[in-house]
Every structure is written in C-alpha cells, then in structure tokens.
Copies of this chain bind each other. A is one copy, B any other.
Amino acid sequence: MAAWGERLAGVRGVLLDISGVLYDGGEGGGAAIAGSVEAVARLKRSRLKVRFCTNESQKSRADLVGLLRRLGFDVSEGEVTAPAPAACLILKQRGLRPHLLVHDGVRSEFDQIDTSNPNCVVIADAGEGFSYQNMNKAFQVLMELENPVLFSLGKGRYYKETSGLMLDVGPYMKALEYACGIEAEVVGKPSPEFFKSALQEMGVEAHEAIMIGDDIVGDVGGAQRYGMRALQVRTGKFRKWDSCSG
C-alpha cells in the first residue's frame, strides 16, 4: 500500500458521505461516530475544500443539517449535495409530474413540484412507508403509463442504524424494476451526474478529489468510475467481505 502522502498527492477537495461516516442514524436521531466531529473540524481548518455528498433521502437537507449540528458538526445546508434537490431539478427540466413514494421527512423538498396527474414515479428511502399498499400504488401508476419512468434516490442495499442493518431504497427499486420490466434512473451516488454537480459546487476536478464513504458501490465504486479517488471507512455498514465482493 502506498504511503498516505503519495495516495493523496494533488488532492484539493474531500467529499464526505454522511450516514455511516459521520454518524449512525437511529433512536433519537442517532449518534456521532467517534472522532468524526473533530475530523470534519480539522478538514475545514486545512487547505482542502470540503463537501458533504449524501444519498440521505429520508430527511430534507434542512433537517439533516439541523441534526448534524446538534451532534456537533460544523456544516451548513449549502455544503450538502443530496438527491431530492437533484431530482427536483430533473423533474422540472423534463416537465415530469411525479407520484412520490418517499418518507414524510423529505416531502417538503418537493413542495414546488406539480404532483397532479402523475407521469412518473419517484422513490426514496421511505422506511416504514414501504408498505405493500404504497408499493402496489407506485406499481399501478407505472403500469398505467405508456412509457413508465421510475426515479430512485440512490440504490443503496442497506444502511446501518444504531439498532442494526436496515433495508435502503435499492431493494425496493429492484422490486419495481422487476415488476414493471423497466430500469430505474438513479439520482444520487453512484450516478456520474451526481458526482459532477458536487464537484462543480466545490470548483474541483475529479482527479483532484477524494470521496470518503462506507458504501463500496455507491461511494467507492461510483467515485472511482468518475475518475476520483476513494476511501472506504470501516464504520457504518462496512463489512469485511465488502472489500472482496465489491
């Protein structure tokens, strides 16, 4: 393994995943991961540009930042790249009206979006909202469209809460893809467009950036395919065999 100095040569920007890297969600909002508050503070004191690049789709950016600040992190809304705002931009650009299968906590991000007479479906990490009834409704909306369009805010398999591993949006995306015989458009990591917008916000090129995350596919694989460096932490959903199976 190359020395750290060598591996980080030329890096000007650091993208930080949030869940599993800075904190683990759970009862009462969750808990900061040991050392992470200080690590963010040190990064911000350094010459490096820092941006938070998350697939969090249960909470609005405002709520997420509020939670992180209560946990002691130095972070503001403008520093966060998240999939719901990115999805809203795409919906507007393409004149699409979504049926939303999302968590109540993120619904406010879609306040400016017309959801009448839907011509596409947007799913996010809906948690308990992934009831059979809600999944069936999303399925029926898609099956009634001549050209069914499904957006998925991320495609993570699972994430870690303080109480254990939890199914993420990815499995439900796969369920609807199979049911309807379609392929979803992923908004969020590992989509290249998502990394592109995060890098643009930082003013940093891909080869000058490093992504730090706990997801071997969404964070590490996605960043590397986009020409960035990547580092997998051993917190969050990290499991030893990930490194081999990814």
Those of A128-183 within 8 Å (CB) of chain B: 128-133, 135-136, 139-140, 143, 157-158, 164-168, 170-172, 174-181
Copies held by the complex:
2
Q: Chain A: how many interface residues by the 8 Å CB criterion?
A: 32
Question: B133 near A132 (CB under 8 angstroms)?
Answer: no
Closest to A168 in B: B179
Instruction: Describe A's contact surface by its main secondary structure.
Output: helix
Closest to A241 in B: B181
Task: Pull 22 A–B residue pairs with CB atoms less than 8 Å apart, ordered by A.
Answer: A128-B132, A128-B133, A129-B132, A130-B132, A132-B167, A135-B167, A136-B166, A139-B158, A139-B165, A139-B167, A139-B171, A140-B164, A143-B158, A143-B165, A157-B178, A157-B181, A168-B179, A170-B179, A171-B175, A171-B178, A175-B175, A181-B245
| Interface residue ranges, A against B (CB under 8 Å) | 126-133, 135-136, 139-140, 143, 157-158, 164-168, 170-172, 174-181, 245
